[in-house]
Structure 1
């Protein structure tokens, strides 16, 4: 869908933040070939001090690819995905919105299938939340606990990503509905029911150990 977005003639930025020649590496070849190291500075400054929304839409497929691969030392995936909200992507053409949504779901499902993953599930879920989408289908997919990897991710999340009634990733907007939604999923029953259902069908001792660890760490309302 984004292949139809016009290549910008230039990507001007704040003269105090962007060197005059920095945009050259962004426009010297196809967007798919831009080196992650070259794109990182643009990713950090996009829509604040460098470039406009049309330019962001042009670079978006490569930005998402790099974020999903954790290819930037900075900015973090949560920052990159949060720029979609700044760009007002919920008002973009339907095909572009559908492409972004499909990417988010594919990234999340791929994460749940691999453990350890880079970036970890905590980062991916926070990055998805930064786009402003409803997290219900993402949490439902996790609640299926279809693999040992998904269970291990949940163990990591309740061990390192949760402190009382607070998610510890610094990029969570703790006043946003998504933060409350994840806490409710963890503490008001859905996650516990998912763990109990997994207990009932599981026989492997290592996986049962993971499930017991998760169950013991889930917050109680």
Structure 2
């Protein structure tokens, strides 16, 4: 019997991580890159970003990807991506306010505009990680967090939701139950359940996610014996105004 570590999605993810490691091997931040010692870190730590392939300690890695004021964010990202991608997959990256922050960092680097080989390596990593998450009964990062990250990193929600549609097995459905339970409070308040990097995209993303959940979740959640309350809350997403909050199954949320 095939062990979990040998599943096709795990093999694909391992290959994607290896591709990132090879593609970005030897890269460094710009020689003149700078940052504030008071808010980011010491001069000695900054030097580490200008030396290729040296592992950063977890706190330095966190401060590096979180920083928003690099002169060349793309070069800094390329420097840390081999280590950063592995840390993400193993659940070692824990942003203060949600994994979408990682997506924001990737988006700031404009990775989709990088040379074709580099952009392809990042794209395949994100898709391979998402595919593996949907088949992993106990992923290091919950599916709803990986989705937010991928959506923000790529500035689109559609391909990630489409991938979830095609995965109709028990594990993917269980992740959908968990995600719906995590999302329902915000969506019933007409809010996106994560922080969008571009405010102008927030309403469009929320609308797409809500419509997708109404369309695809009920039958799958019913099959997995999801709580009746959760099924009602998804039904309520299809109602507007008083019809929603005067429904006998309105959960009493206050915003």
TM-score tier (shorter) = 0.7 to 0.9
1:146-183 deviation digits (Å, cap 9, x = unpaired): 33221111111111222213333346766413333212
Kept in 2, the 8 Å contact 1:14–1:49? The answer is no
Q: 1:61/1:180 Cα in 2 relative to 1: closer, same or farther (>3 Å)?
A: farther
Give the Cα separation in 2 of the matches to 1:81 and 1:42: 14
Residue 191 of structure 1 corresponds to 217
Gaps of 5+ in 2: 1-19, 240-255
Q: Does 1:63 align with 2:84?
A: yes
Give the Cα separation in 2 of the matches to 1:141 and 1:59: 28
Q: 1:162/1:172 Cα in 2 relative to 1: closer, same or farther (>3 Å)?
A: farther
Aligned-residue Cα RMSD (Å) equals: 3.1
Give the Cα separation in 2 of the matches to 1:84 and 1:166: 23
Structure 1 residue 139, shift from structure 2 partner: 1.0
Residue 210 of structure 1 corresponds to 226
Residue 148 of structure 2 corresponds to 126
Equivalent residue runs for 1:10-159 within 5 Å: 10=31, 11-17=33-39, 18-26=41-49, 30-31=53-54, 33-45=55-67, 47-49=68-70, 52-74=73-95, 76-159=98-181
Gaps of 5+ in 1: 200-206
Give the Cα separation in 1 of the matches to 2:114 and 2:178: 35
Aligned length: 208
Residue 194 of structure 2 corresponds to 169
Q: 1:116/1:82 Cα in 2 relative to 1: closer, same or farther (>3 Å)?
A: same
Q: 1:69/1:213 Cα in 2 relative to 1: closer, same or farther (>3 Å)?
A: farther
Q: Which SS does the other structure have where 2:43 is aligned?
A: coil
Kept in 2, the 8 Å contact 1:116–1:149? The answer is no
Q: Which SS does the other structure have where 1:178 is aligned?
A: helix
Q: 1:220/1:172 Cα in 2 relative to 1: closer, same or farther (>3 Å)?
A: farther
